[in-house]
Amino acid sequence: MMQQDELIGTMLGGYRILASVGQGGMARVYKAYQENLDREVAIKVLPPWYATDSSFVERFNLEARLVARLSHPNIVTVHDASEQNGHLYIVMQLVSGGTLKQRLDQLHLQGKAMDTLEVVSIFAQLADALSYAHEQKIIHRDIKPVNVLLDGSGRPILSDFGIAKVLASTREGLTRPGAGVGTPEYMSPEQCKGGPVDGRADIYALGVMLFEAMTGYTPFRGDNYHALAHSHIYDPPPHPSSLHPTINPIIEHVILTALLKKPEQRYQRASDMADALKQALPGGVLAVSRTSASIEAIYLCPYCRKANKPQMRFCTQCGNQMNQCPFCSTTNPASNRFCYKCGQSLTRQ
């Protein structure tokens, strides 16, 4: 059997493999040419050493069936799925504009955050796509920037439903509910606990991505999985304005609502999150929900980024002095007596 690197230049079904374009959680993605329709496509190929494992094969085939059922402008389209010479593969829409991760990395290198119009455009569309998928009883469970493709116009397209779960009809035992599924930086508290997962876990992950888009950082950090999981479960997120003082307050409210620990306190439908985001556009007015009372002010340590309660004079993790401006929320060096942004005194009474 040929090695997977040797697929380039060969035919797989009716598709000529042109180049490798990425590695997913359990498969490699290639750019290919479909000769009979004269178009380029993306092909996700299961490594041959997995093709003999029935559990991987079942999971792979489930992905093809799940995504093929979805028809939405912000969800990647599946064209075909088959097997040849021990290679299981799925043929998908080719999206050539890069990923949201690449876009965020570019902004971070420039010291910038997304502007309000771009944020609302991208994340409202993603929330609408998730709302549609949830209505089909499909959840994603691995929402993260690398799984959001951008086309040439900047339209976001959600990809990689490889660990999606059919709430109503998935055969028992194919995957354990929530346990070990997802990417730690974006996992909801209930995923970290290994408990049952529904669409509100996707809403939480979308909130993590939105925080990252606005600040350049994910809200929780840890040296290992257990430290990250502990933070997701127990630590309140910092207010985005502690890192981005000029953030639109409506977007900040949306982020903090999506990141609430209890699923019943978050947006209950992704479409509700989309509607709330759209209120950040000119003329929009946010109807503040009852979850506002659950959102506690948190200051971010300027040294280790540990979230601390506002009354803490010293960081509970690294011991450095907290120096958050109480007027504009800008984080200042510990030696500053006055905020470098607004000029107000940093001395706490």
Does 142 qualify as catalytic in the annotation? yes
Closest CA to 124 of 304, 267, 330, 315: 267
- Output Rg (C-alpha) for the chain, integer angstroms: 22
- Do residues 43 and 30 lie in contact, with contact meaning Cβ atoms separated by under 8 Å? yes
For residue 291, what is the DSSP state? G
Q: Distance between CA atoms of 338 and 335, rounded to whole angstroms?
A: 9
200 is written with which tokens? 């509100």
- DSSP assignments along 140-163, one per residue: -S---GGGEEE-TT--EEE---TT
**Cβ-based neighbours of 173, under 8 Å, separated by 6 or more:** none
Which residue blocks in 35-115 are alpha helix, DSSP H? 48-51, 54-68, 100-109
Q: Distance between CA atoms of 286 and 288, rounded to whole angstroms?
A: 6
Give the sign of the dihedral formed by CA 84, CA 90, CA 95, CA 101.
Answer: negative
Catalytic residue among 105, 128, 142, 272: 142
**Cβ-based neighbours of 116, under 8 Å, separated by 6 or more:** 248, 251, 280, 281
Give the sign of the dihedral formed by CA 266, CA 271, CA 277, CA 283.
Answer: negative
Query: Per DSSP, which regions of the chain are E strands?
Result: 11-12, 15-23, 28-34, 39-45, 78-84, 87-92, 138-139, 148-150, 156-158, 165-166, 299-300, 307-308
Closest CA to 274 of 73, 117, 128: 128
Active-site residue list:
142
